[in-house]
Amino acid sequence: MALLVFVESAEGKIKKTSVEAVSFACGMGQAVTAIALGAVEKSELEALGSYGAQKVLHVSDERLNQGIIQAYARVLEQAMKDENADILILANSSLGTPVAARIAARIGASLASNVIELPNTTAGFVVKRSIYTGKAFAWVELTNQKKVITIRKNAAEMKEVGAPVQVTPYTVSLSEADFATKITSAEKATGEVLLPEANIVVSGGRGMKGPEHWSILEDLAKTLHAATGCSKPVSDMGWRPHHEHVGQTGVKVAPQLYIAVGISGAIQHLAGVNSSKCIVVINKDPEAPFFKAADYGIVGDAFEIIPKLTEAIKAAK
């Protein structure tokens, strides 16, 4: 029996969250088959072997260059059958999670999303999920023979354990009905570090006073190879794009390091960052609630501290 891992790509490159999914699957101690859909660079696919995939399937159907939820679920259903896989693992993402839902309903699998640790298989198959927006966890048992799980970022570390493998071309015949939704266009920030996948996030709040002051945060982010984020009012006022909004009603991040600048630390904001490994808070108000959730804190004026911090990091490199 094999594990099937769905790997996502963007601009021909495998996404980091999907490599984590392959590493996660390897941690389960069974043969791992990875499957990628649409246009992906050959070397990227082969490299999945280094992260532990014994087999890499690639469906090069042009219609799958875009992430069509239903069509993707159809392909994965067929691949699970052909690979004799009972378990499908996907990254928790804007594509992975909806695809997971559709395929789970199709094949009658037990479904758990937002899984944060390797399953416990000593008695049954039990996973730990993050719930209440990071404020709690639930241990749930998946009792059906077929299982679909989506894993949150940082649920597994990327580990090189093997060598590149040959890619196996794979085809599934898809009907018009699988493409009932059409993607007409897409807008994507290119070349930047994407917020949901970043290892380091530099985030600004209303304390930054206006969009014209973001350049100091961008400089810091660039120095750290970090993504930029913001609080809800900042994106509501149009200072920053909506996809940078972090929190309960925005992106939930789980980076190694989250640097919050001029953000008060409202509970709804904290809900989006409480899975970060380390939190640094810079705020001029010593009473700002964010300090209670922080690992390191500096009380002071962001406009003075941030440029100095950027310089100090450059100097330490």
> Which string of x and - marks every residue 288-307 that binds other proteins (by CB under 8 A)?
---xxxxxxxxxxx--xx--
Among 62, 163, 182, 212, binds other proteins (CB under 8 A): 182
**Residues in Cβ contact with 219 at an 8 Å cutoff, skipping those fewer than 6 apart:** 306, 307, 310
Among 11, 82, 84, 94, binds other proteins (CB under 8 A): 94
Alpha-carbon gap, residue 244 to 263, rounded angstroms: 14
Binding residues for other proteins restricted to 46-65, rule: CB under 8 A? none
> Which string of x and - marks every residue 108-147 that binds other proteins (by CB under 8 A)?
xxxxxxx-----------x-xxxxxxxxxxxxxxxxx---
For ligand FAD, the closer CB: 75 or 294: 294
Among 101, 164, 206, 303, binds other proteins (CB under 8 A): 101
Min dist. Cβ of residue 210 to other proteins (A): 21
12 near other proteins, judged by CB under 8 A: no
C-alpha 27: how far from its chain's center?
Answer: 18
Query: Do 4 and 35 contact (CB within 8 A), yes or no?
Result: yes
**Residues in Cβ contact with 22 at an 8 Å cutoff, skipping those fewer than 6 apart:** 5, 7, 32, 34, 48, 51, 52, 53
Pairing of strands 13-14, 9-10: antiparallel
Task: Give which of other proteins, ligand FAD, none residue 237 binds (C-beta under 5 to 8 Å, depending on kind).
Answer: none
Task: Give which of other proteins, ligand FAD, none residue 287 binds (C-beta under 5 to 8 Å, depending on kind).
Answer: none
Between helix 214-224 and helix 302-316 the angle, nearest 10°, is 20
Q: Could you tell me the sign of the dihedral formed by the alpha carbons of 40, 87, 95, 135, in that order? A: negative
Binding residues for ligand FAD restricted to 279-298, rule: CB under 6 A? 283-285, 288
Binding residues for ligand FAD restricted to 231-270, rule: CB under 6 A? 231-234, 246-250, 262-264, 266, 268-269
Report, in angstroms and rounded to the nearest whole number, the Rg of the chain calculated over CA atoms: 21
Binding residues for other proteins restricted to 14-53, rule: CB under 8 A? 15
Binding residues for other proteins restricted to 240-279, rule: CB under 8 A? 242-243, 248-249, 256-257, 267-268, 271, 274, 277-278
Give the residue from 149, 126, 165 showing the smallest Cα distance to 6: 149
